[in-house]
C-alpha cells in the first residue's frame, strides 16, 4: 500500500534486522508491529529513539490497547480499527512534522506578468 503512494519501504520480520537497517541511515519513519521475534516493536522504537529522537514511529498491534503498554511510539494503532487512508494520513502528518512544511518556491525568480494597456 505504501509503495503505491510513492514511499520506499524496507520490510523486516525481526526487530534486530530493522534496527541494523536503521543504523545505515536514510530511514524517515518507522512502522512496526507490537509483537515480533527477538526485539519487539516497543523495544525497537526505544532503540531507534535513542539513536534518533526525532524519527517518527508508528506502533501497530492486534492485541494490546495503548494504555496497556508503555511505548515511545508517536502513534499507536490497533490493527483492524483504522482505514488504510488513516494510516497514510498519519504517516504524512508525522513526516511533515519531522521535515517541516514544504517551502514555497522562490517567487523572485519568476517574472511578473505584464498587463496590456
Residue 35 lies in a domain: yes
Indicate the number of domains in the chain.
1
Sheet of strand 57-61, all strands in order from the earlier edge strand to the far edge: 30-33, 57-61, 75-78
Write the CATH number for 64. Answer: 3.40.50.2300
Domain that holds residue 93: 3-97
pLDDT tens digit sequence for 27-50: 999 999 988 889 999 999 999 999
**Which sign does the torsion angle of CA 89, 94, 95, 100 carry?**
positive
Among 49, 11, 50, 47, which Cα is nearest to 32's?
A: 11
**63 touches 35 (CB < 8 A):** yes
* Residue 107 within any structural domain of the chain: no
Cell of 16: 534486530
User: Does 76 have pLDDT greater than 70?
Assistant: yes
- Is the CA virtual torsion 62, 64, 70, 74 positive or negative? positive
Q: Is residue 91 part of a domain?
A: yes
Q: Whole-model pTM? A: 0.78
Any domain includes 26: yes
Q: What percent of the chain has pLDDT over 90?
A: 50
Amino acid at each position: 500500500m505504501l509503495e503505491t503512494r510513492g514511499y520506499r519501504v524496507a520490510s523486516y520480520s525481526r526487530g534486530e534486522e530493522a534496527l541494523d537497517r536503521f543504523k545505515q541511515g536514510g530511514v524517515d519513519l518507522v512502522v512496526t508491529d507490537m509483537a515480533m521475534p527477538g526485539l519487539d516493536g516497543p523495544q525497537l522504537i526505544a532503540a531507534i529513539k535513542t539513536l534518533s529522537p526525532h524519527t517518527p514511529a508508528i506502533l501497530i498491534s492486534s492485541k494490546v490497547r495503548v494504555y496497556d503498554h508503555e511505548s515511545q511510539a508517536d502513534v499507536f494503532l490497533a490493527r483492524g480499527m483504522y482505514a488504510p487512508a488513516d494510516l497514510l494520513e498519519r504517516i504524512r502528518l508525522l513526516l511533515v512534522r519531522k521535515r517541516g512544511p514544504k517551502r514555497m518556491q522562490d517567487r523572485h525568480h519568476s517574472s511578473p506578468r505584464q498587463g496590456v494597456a
